[in-house]
């Protein structure tokens, strides 16, 4: 397989001064963004994956790269195993007096803060802002007098209610609330007009305090903006962005940013099912101190998303690009597109000599794919694609298994197992919520130690092929449905495991390359 001319799977920059939405067809859920000088930074949710909270950087709001992670390993006990639907929920990023801040909610443990002088460097933390369950979507804000506040929402699954926003002051050092909960206050009740309001982002403009917050639910809702002359309210409300006649259902949680030349833009996500929550960019302007987003403003000032638009006016020439997806494993560090399925151990892998060594990790008997923290995964880079990996298996030990996996609400994988000295292929398929997994032998015994595995995603269906020479591919196994996980899209990646107490080996991965469908 040709690997020298690898191309990115989704490019939003059209090369003619315009861009298409989504700008990222990748599951960067719950995006928040800021501008510092001429640089834009974005963070997103990670849930149980580690490293956690990806940090993306752009010069023009269209072409983005992952440059870092805010959290190397999840800071609370229990995340050495996958905890689906838990972990790092919707973060917020801000910059104040030379310091970058990221607030991260853990819905079962509390709200923590990380900070850095250099966003490309190591982030310090965690500083615990509040130990609690059910407080989510925190956003810090510094008022003109220097007072620091935090606005947040609530998760009904943890605290018993939702559709409300809360505001409280915080000490400037971020080490804890200045007061107990009863000294902050609820600033908006959305039960009657803005059900499931969440994801608040607090700003100030022309003497108005604004809370940008989605409502109506992830799949069917809209974007709401609240405003008041008093930070504690009462707040007026207005719906500013709906699906309208577009395919962009429920334009959801995001961030308002401006450019150095004075333009205003709004980033938000769209839930598209199996691929997860992808990121869109909307033009924005102000009328009567209300934001107007997108296009085709109705009589109430509500816009709808654009599908193609002129790029932001910035003083930079940015080549068309996107976050990394394919990996040839040529460096000495793991690419930033990769995350583990839980907190990781550095002994699970090594790099060098032009390939990835993936160690077979001992797992309890009966372990299922979705039980494993040592799945090395990345997000889908496009709605449809093929991805091919080459594995060298001469260093597997008896009882080792290694191969390619797809992980969402349904787990699926084609793995080679060394048994009685032979290398045989089998398929593992499971339903994460039901806790069930089945495996089946595929009647294939390899004649050598080299294996190519190809996974194809087409119309939300995952199918498989294998080859021993990289030229002739053969369909194998059963196709499965691609089903989103708990608030996350399906991921694809690699697995290496060993059940039992025998000696463990390793597989060498030469490349992991995405390609468009023909």
Could you list the active site residues? 30, 198
Contact 152, 136 (CB under 8 A): yes
* DSSP for 194-206, written as a single string: STT----EEEEET
- Per the structure block, which two tokens stand in for 337? 């597109």
Pairing of strands 361-363, 474-481: unpaired
Contact 187, 210 (CB under 8 A): no
- Cis ω before 22 (30° cut-off from 0): yes
Dist. CA 31–CA 22, nearest whole Å: 13
Contact 29, 277 (CB under 8 A): yes
At residue 71, the 3 state secondary structure works out as strand
Dist. CA 476–CA 415, nearest whole Å: 11
Dist. CA 104–CA 336, nearest whole Å: 20
- Per the structure block, which two tokens stand in for 254? 């995001």
- Report residue 417: phi and psi, to 5°: -120, 135
Rg of the chain, C-alpha, whole Å: 23
Could you tell me how far CA 288 lies from the centroid of its own chain? Answer: 35
Dist. CA 446–CA 392, nearest whole Å: 12
Instruction: Give the residue from 206, 191, 198 showing the smallest Cα distance to 223.
Output: 198
At residue 371, the 3 state secondary structure works out as helix
Contact 256, 227 (CB under 8 A): no
Dist. CA 279–CA 20, nearest whole Å: 11
């Amino acid at each position: 397989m040709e690997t020298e001319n690898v191309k990115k799977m989704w490019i939003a920059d059209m090369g003619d001064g315009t861009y298409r939405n989504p700008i990222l067809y990748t599951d960067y859920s719950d995006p928040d963004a800021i501008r510092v000088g001429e640089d834009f930074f974005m963070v997103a949710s990670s849930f149980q994956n580690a490293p956690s909270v990806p940090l993306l950087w752009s010069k023009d709001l269209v072409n983005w790269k992952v440059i870092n992670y805010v959290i190397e390993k999840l800071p609370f006990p229990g995340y050495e195993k996958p905890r689906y639907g838990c972990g790092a929920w919707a973060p917020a990023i801000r910059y104040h007096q030379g310091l970058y801040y990221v607030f991260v909610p853990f819905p079962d443990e509390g709200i923590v803060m990380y900070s850095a002088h250099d966003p490309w460097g190591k982030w310090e933390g965690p500083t615990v802002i509040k130990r609690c369950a059910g407080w989510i979507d925190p956003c810090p804000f510094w008022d003109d007098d220097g007072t620091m506040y935090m606005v947040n929402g609530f998760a009904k699954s943890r605290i018993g209610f939702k559709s409300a926003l809360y505001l409280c002051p915080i000490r400037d050092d971020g080490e804890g609330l200045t007061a107990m909960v009863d000294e902050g206050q609820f600033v908006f009740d959305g039960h009657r007009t803005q059900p499931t309001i969440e994801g608040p982002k607090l700003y100030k403009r022309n003497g108005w305090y604004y809370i940008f917050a989605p409502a109506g639910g992830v799949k069917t809702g809209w974007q709401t903006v609240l405003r008041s002359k008093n930070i504690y309210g009462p707040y007026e409300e207005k719906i500013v962005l709906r699906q309208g006649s577009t395919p962009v259902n429920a334009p959801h949680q995001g961030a308002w940013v401006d450019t150095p030349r004075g333009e205003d833009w709004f980033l938000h996500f769209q839930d598209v099912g199996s691929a997860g929550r992808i990121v869109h960019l909307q033009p924005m302007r102000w009328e009567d101190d209300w934001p107007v987003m997108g296009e085709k403003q109705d009589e109430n000032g509500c816009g709808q998303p654009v599908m193609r638009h002129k790029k932001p006016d910035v003083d930079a020439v940015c080549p068309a690009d996107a976050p990394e997806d394919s990996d040839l494993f040529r460096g000495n560090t793991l690419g930033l597109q990769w995350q583990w399925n839980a907190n990781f151990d550095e002994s699970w892998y090594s790099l060098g000599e032009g390939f990835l060594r993936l160690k077979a990790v001992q797992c309890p008997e009966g372990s299922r794919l979705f039980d494993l923290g040592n799945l090395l995964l990345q997000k889908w880079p496009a709605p449809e694609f093929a991805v091919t990996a080459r594995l060298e298996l001469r260093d597997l030990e008896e009882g080792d298994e290694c191969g390619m996996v797809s992980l969402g609400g349904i787990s699926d994988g084609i793995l080679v197992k060394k048994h009685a000295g032979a290398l045989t292929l089998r398929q593992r398929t499971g339903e994460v919520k039901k806790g069930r997994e089945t495996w089946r032998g595929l009647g294939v015994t390899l004649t050598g130690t080299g294996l190519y595995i190809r996974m194809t995603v087409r119309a939300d269906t995952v199918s498989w092929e294998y080859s021993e020479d990289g030229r002739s591919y053969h369909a194998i196994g059963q196709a499965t449905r691609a089903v989103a996980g708990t608030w996350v899209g399906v991921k694809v990646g690699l697995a290496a495991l060993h059940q039992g107490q025998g000696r463990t080996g390793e597989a060498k991965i030469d490349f992991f390359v995405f390609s468009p469908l023909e």
